Amino acid sequence: MDKGNSTLTLKRTAGTFRPLALTPSEDLKGYILAHLGRAVLFLIACTSVIAIFLIFLFVIRESVGFLQTESLWGYLSKTGWYPQAEPAKFGSVAIIAGSLYVTAASLAFAVPIGILAAAFLSDIVSFRIRAVVKPVIELLAAIPSVAYGFFAVLILAPFLQKKFGFPTGTNALNASIILAVMALPTIISVAEDSISALGRELREASYSLGATRMETMFKVVIPAAHSGIIAAVVLGMMRAIGETMVVWMASGNAAQIPHPWWDISQSVRTMTATIAGEMGETPKDTSHYYALFMMGVLLLVLTFSLNIVSEYFLSRAKKATGRA
């Protein structure tokens, strides 16, 4: 209705002469509408802020019950996760260590490959091949985590067991390999962005001094783009640390710190897997329930701070390329 009216007025006014200036009432209406619209838009744009706020609020709210019966220090300093024992023990050190362990191991696979692939895409290959390779990486990123988990349990685990003679195929190695594959697309795309954002000048200067491509890459480009690459690694790390289904299905879920520490063929358990595995079967308002939410808070804080780190490096990378 409203629309029809306005088009009518438009047609009528188009025929007649009309001063360019608006009448005061039109002026006021426009002013109010514009500001009202802006306010509404602003509110809707704040959904993300509200969402983050609610996430923190509710996850923390459900976890405070833990502090009434147990100590946070004990939670963070002890090993031994026996939620069903009497009295229950909630020592999450081994679980936090497990999360960090598979994340570190997956980054050890993913970072070198990711940086090499980023260098390949930005500096070496022609535009046409890039257009073929890019979708491959996107498809790797698109495969849902549960499908990776499926692959890890039913195909990779028996393979590892048979080929390498591990006592168990669902172990830290299995989870790390899959996590590396999942973190790779993030690492590649962010690293490639920052490497290719550097521009030709630096590279051409290096080449003109007689450096080979490799030397240019390692001595000029990568140091200059280090902020972006660090951001890429941090983002990949966030992806790995927050991943649930794969580690739940593939890591073996033994709440232990591998001993000796470099033995990657042992089972570990991560924070995400603990929540996923136990939350569904834990009655509400028990200390076990609170303890799992506490783990959620830890994860939230961990990824939130990692996020701030990555933002810092990304903005630095932006500034650096801006200057160059």
Tokens of 49: 């802020």
Write down how long the chain is.
324
Q: Segment near another protein (CB under 8 A), from 65-73, 139-147, 201-209, 219-227?
A: 139-147
183: which residues sit within 8 A by CB, 6+ positions away? 106, 107, 110, 114, 236, 237, 239, 240
Does residue 80 belong to the site contacting another protein (CB under 8 A)?
A: yes
Return the C-alpha torsion angle 76, 99, 316, 194, nearest 10.
180
CB of 226 to another protein, least distance (A): 18
Candidate list 102, 119, 222, 233; residue touching another protein; CB under 8 A: 119
Residue number, 86 or 201, with CB nearest to another protein: 86
Does residue 55 belong to the site contacting another protein (CB under 8 A)?
A: yes
177: which residues sit within 8 A by CB, 6+ positions away? 106, 109, 152, 156
Does residue 269 belong to the site contacting another protein (CB under 8 A)?
A: yes
Does residue 54 belong to the site contacting another protein (CB under 8 A)?
A: yes
Give the C-alpha distances (Å, rounded to integers) separating 296 from 26, 252, 293, 308.
Answer: 53, 20, 5, 18
Does residue 315 belong to the site contacting another protein (CB under 8 A)?
A: no
Give the up-direction half-sphere exposure of residue 59: CA atoms within 13 A in the CB hemisphere: 17
160-179: contacts with another protein (CB under 8 A): 161, 167-170
Kind plus residue range of the DSSP H or E element containing 233:
helix 226-242
Give the C-alpha distances (Å, rounded to integers) separating 149 from 131, 146, 212.
Answer: 29, 5, 42
Q: Segment near another protein (CB under 8 A), from 65-73, 193-201, 225-233, 278-286?
A: 278-286
Does residue 206 belong to the site contacting another protein (CB under 8 A)?
A: no
Candidate list 42, 73, 127, 262; residue touching another protein; CB under 8 A: 42
2-21: contacts with another protein (CB under 8 A): none
Cα 42 to Cα 86: distance, rounded to the nearest angstrom: 52
Candidate list 179, 183, 241, 291; residue touching another protein; CB under 8 A: 241
CB of 227 to another protein, least distance (A): 16
Does residue 116 belong to the site contacting another protein (CB under 8 A)?
A: yes
- What is the torsional sign of CA 101, 107, 110, 116? negative
The 3-state DSSP class for residue 90 equals strand
Does residue 275 belong to the site contacting another protein (CB under 8 A)?
A: yes
Does residue 75 belong to the site contacting another protein (CB under 8 A)?
A: no
65: which residues sit within 8 A by CB, 6+ positions away? 285, 287, 289, 290
Does residue 65 belong to the site contacting another protein (CB under 8 A)?
A: no
Cα 182 to Cα 139: distance, rounded to the nearest angstrom: 11
Does residue 148 belong to the site contacting another protein (CB under 8 A)?
A: yes
CB of 272 to another protein, least distance (A): 5
Does residue 267 belong to the site contacting another protein (CB under 8 A)?
A: yes
247-266: contacts with another protein (CB under 8 A): 248-249, 252-257, 266
Candidate list 28, 142, 205, 209; residue touching another protein; CB under 8 A: 142
Count of residues in contact with another protein, rule CB under 8 A: 113
Task: Please name the residue ranges forming H helices in 120-212.
Answer: 127-142, 145-151, 157-164, 172-196, 200-208
Does residue 135 belong to the site contacting another protein (CB under 8 A)?
A: yes
